[in-house]
Amino acid sequence: MTIAALSDLRSARRLVIKVGSALLVERGAPRAQWLATLATEIAELRTHSEVIVVSSGAIALGAAKLGLTRGGRGSLADAQAAASVGQVGLARLWSDALGNHDITAAQMLVTLGDLEDRRRYLNASATLARLLEAGAVPVVNENDSVATEEIRFGDNDRLAARVAQAAGAEAVLLLSDVDGLYDRDPHEDGAVLVERVEGVTPEVIAMASGASSSGLGSGGMLAKLQAARIAERAGIALAILNGTRTSPISRALDSGTGTLFVPQSDASARKAWLGGRLAPAGVVTVDQGCMTALENGASVLAAGITAIEGTFARGDLVAIHGPGGERLGQGLVEYTSAECSAILGLREEQQSEKLGYAPRAAVIHRDHMVHA
Contacts with ligand GLU, residue ranges (CB under 6 A) = 21, 56-60, 83, 141-142, 144, 155-156, 217-219
Nearer to ligand GLU, 108 or 364 (CB): 108
> Shortest distance, CB of residue 60 to ligand GLU, whole angstroms?
6
> Does residue 170 contact residue 12 with C-beta atoms inside 8 Å?
yes
> Shortest distance, CB of residue 350 to ligand GLU, whole angstroms?
51
Nearer to ligand GLU, 56 or 285 (CB): 56
186 φ, ψ (degrees, to nearest 5): -60, -15
> Shortest distance, CB of residue 276 to ligand GLU, whole angstroms?
17
Nearer to ligand GLU, 140 or 252 (CB): 140
327 φ, ψ (degrees, to nearest 5): -80, 120
Residues belonging to the chain: 372
> Does residue 98 contact residue 42 with C-beta atoms inside 8 Å?
yes
Nearer to ligand GLU, 49 or 218 (CB): 218
Nearer to ligand GLU, 56 or 165 (CB): 56
Vertex 264 angle, CA 261 and 269, to 5°:
110
> Shortest distance, CB of residue 201 to ligand GLU, whole angstroms?
24
Nearer to ligand GLU, 58 or 166 (CB): 58
> Shortest distance, CB of residue 137 to ligand GLU, whole angstroms?
17
Nearer to ligand GLU, 45 or 91 (CB): 91
3-state secondary structure the chain: CCCCCHHHHHHCCEEEEEECHHHHEECCEECHHHHHHHHHHHHHHCCCCEEEEEECCHHHHHHHHHCCCHHHCCCHHHHHHHHHHHHHHHHHHHHHHHHCCCCCEEEEEECHHHHHCHHHHHHHHHHHHHHHHCCCEEEEEECCCCCCHHHCCCCHHHHHHHHHHHHCCCEEEEEECCCCCECCCCCCCCCCECCEECCCCHHHHHHCCCCCCCCCCCCHHHHHHHHHHHHHHCCCEEEEEECCCCCHHHHHHHHCCCEEECCCCCCCHHHHHHHHCCCCCEEEEECHHHHHHHHCCCCECHHHEEEEECCCCCCCEEEEECCCCCEEEEEEECCCHHHHHHHCCCCHHHHHHHHCCCCCCCCEEEEEEEEC
> Shortest distance, CB of residue 369 to ligand GLU, whole angstroms?
31
> Shortest distance, CB of residue 333 to ligand GLU, whole angstroms?
31
Distance from C-alpha of 168 to C-alpha of 172, rounded to nearest angstrom: 11
> Shortest distance, CB of residue 351 to ligand GLU, whole angstroms?
46
> Shortest distance, CB of residue 365 to ligand GLU, whole angstroms?
35
Nearer to ligand GLU, 57 or 248 (CB): 57
> Shortest distance, CB of residue 217 to ligand GLU, whole angstroms?
3
Nearer to ligand GLU, 87 or 299 (CB): 87
Nearer to ligand GLU, 224 or 368 (CB): 224
> Does residue 242 contact residue 9 with C-beta atoms inside 8 Å?
no
